Structure 1
Amino acid sequence: MIKAQDAEFYNEQGYLLVKGVFNRQEVEAMRSGVEGILKRAIEQKRDGNHAWQGDFVPPEEMKKLVLKGFHDVHYHDAAFTQAVVHPNMTAILSRLIGPNVQLHHSKMLVKPPENGAVFPMHQDYPYFPHEKHTMLAASVHLDDADVENGCLHVIPGSHKSGPLPHVGRHYLDAKQYPVSSGIACPAEAGDVLFFNYLTIHGSPANRSERTRRNVLFQYRSATDFPTVNTHFDWGMGLMVCGENPNLDKVRPDFEIK
């Protein structure tokens, strides 16, 4: 699915856009999955606004911004379970991470038309720090994305700076790192943007009349372990390719109550 020079680009720049990972039918199945989750959330009064709060945009604008999000989508619709271990995905992951790859978690992010929320520039590292920094995000595009409807922006090579101080663990200083400091990564439905969890990234608000739906899968090496007991999930550690060489570390350390 990718070549050696693509893996080299990822290692140097901290990100890689891969075209056409999922076909039209697979994208449509995931779109239906997203819409089904949103419908059930409304019916069960679990619907809410997941837009980040902070001083990175003026307060009056913040009140208007909306983000529909839901974690662990592979528990809610089989289309996402199939996508997590899709042969095209595992072929790429084995080149970017190594032969033994685990799922960490999944989530969906929906930016509605005209007022879809901005994501200030940040690293994912503060949420789930790991020893070897193999963690990456695979952002699956379910709609065509451009600057107008809030596509992802990344700062190439920023993963080499290591962990940076964040405002309340959430985002970087917006004056020092505005979204415009990154390069836009426009993509088409079915494309996947892979980026290391140390790569600085964010996205502008959706100002278009088009919805922007993304599903995010976080993956790591089976030999990369968390340094802090945070962001645990029942399905964390699912093997998506290769094998787990550690018989005593096959699931997170938690208790069922």
Structure 2
Amino acid sequence: MIVNEDVQFYKENGYLLVRGVFNEQEVLEMRAAVERIIQRAAAAQGEQNHAWQGDFLPPDQLKKLVLKGFHDVHYHDAAFTRAVIHPNMVAALNGIIGPNVQLHHSKMLVKPPANGAAFPMHQDYPYFPHRDHSMLAASVHLDDADEENGCLAVIPGSHLQGPLPHVGKHYLNHKEHPISSGTPCPAKAGDVLFFNYLTIHGSDVNRSERTRRNILFQYRDAADVPTENTHFDWGMGLMVSGENKDFNNVKPNYKIVEA
């Protein structure tokens, strides 16, 4: 799936686009799963006529449901559980991270046509900082993405700067790091863009008449550990490849408390 030159490119640039990780049928299955999740989310809020209709959502739902995305989609549909451990994904992850790989969390992002929101340039590091910085995002493209419909843009080599100060821990100063400063990463449906959580990235608005659907899987080396008590989740640490050599650190330490 990837060769030594690809791994070296990732180490130097902080990102790597891998073509054709998922085939057409697998992409269709994930698109259908996205549709079902949005339908259930709309229904759970007790609202009417909020079903995903082709490439559109009712306008009054765009901000509520689409722009914020949904976390932990592998809890909502098995299509994403299969995607998390897909052999092609594992092959790429083994090359980039190593033999022992864990899932940290998953997320669904949908940019609707014409007014899909932009994501200012940022690092993912502030959301879930880790000791060894092995954490990366695998952005699975369910639609063709280009500059017109808001594809991801990265700043090559920016991961080598280490953690940078963010505005409210969420975004970099947009005057110093405008989206236009990034290198666009157009991709086809089924392609996966891997990028380190220190790599500066963002995406512009969707100006097209095409939806842009992405699934994000965050992975890390099993030996890497969080440095702050933040973004912990049920099921975090699922082994995707290899083994967890720390017997006493295999899952979050949750306690059930009565309200």
TM-score by length of 1: 0.92
Partner of 1:117: 117
Q: Following TM superposition, where does structure 1 have runs of at least 4 consecutive aligned residues deviating by more than 4 angstroms?
A: none
Separation in 2, partners of 1:86, 1:128: 24
User: Which amino acid is 1:29 matched to?
Assistant: E
Q: CA offsets per residue over residues 47-99 of structure 1, 9 Å max, x none?
A: 9xxxxxxxxxxxxxxx9xx6151100000000000000000000000110011
C-alpha contact 1:68 1:111 (8 A) present in aligned 2 = no
Find the residue that maps to 1:147 and give its secondary structure: coil
Partner of 1:17: 17
Find the residue that maps to 1:140 and give its secondary structure: strand
Partner of 1:149: 149
Separation in 1, partners of 2:183, 2:255: 43
Find the residue that maps to 1:10 and give its secondary structure: helix
Partner of 2:129: 129
Partner of 1:225: 225
Separation in 1, partners of 2:69, 2:196: 21
Find the residue that maps to 2:93 and give its secondary structure: helix
TM-score by length of 2: 0.91
User: Which amino acid is 1:171 matched to?
Assistant: Y
Separation in 1, partners of 2:159, 2:179: 16
Q: CA offsets per residue over residues 96-127 of structure 1, 9 Å max, x none?
A: 00110000000100000000000000000000
Please provide the CA RMSD for this pair: 1.2
Aligned residues with identical type, % of pairs: 73
User: Which amino acid is 1:148 matched to?
Assistant: E
Pairwise CA distance, 1:254: 2.4
Partner of 1:60: none
Pairwise CA distance, 1:255: 1.5
Find the residue that maps to 1:153 and give its secondary structure: strand
Find the residue that maps to 1:83 and give its secondary structure: helix
Find the residue that maps to 1:150 and give its secondary structure: coil
**Alignment length (residue pairs):** 240
Partner of 1:56: none
Pairwise CA distance, 1:252: 1.4
Pairwise CA distance, 1:253: 2.4
Q: CA offsets per residue over residues 187-244 of structure 1, 9 Å max, x none?
A: 0000000000000000000010000000000000000000001101101000000000
Partner of 1:84: 84
Partner of 2:215: 215
Find the residue that maps to 1:11 and give its secondary structure: helix
Separation in 2, partners of 1:46, 1:206: 28
Unmatched 5+ stretches in structure 1? 48-62
Asked if 1:193 is matched to 2:193, the reply is yes
Partner of 2:171: 171
Structure 1 residues 107, 46: CA separation in 2 closer, same or farther (over 3 Å shift)? farther
Pairwise CA distance, 1:140: 0.1
User: Which amino acid is 1:112 matched to?
Assistant: P
User: Which amino acid is 2:178 matched to?
Assistant: P
User: Which amino acid is 2:4 matched to?
Assistant: A
Pairwise CA distance, 1:46: 7.7
Separation in 1, partners of 2:28, 2:110: 15
Separation in 2, partners of 1:135, 1:46: 37
Partner of 1:102: 102
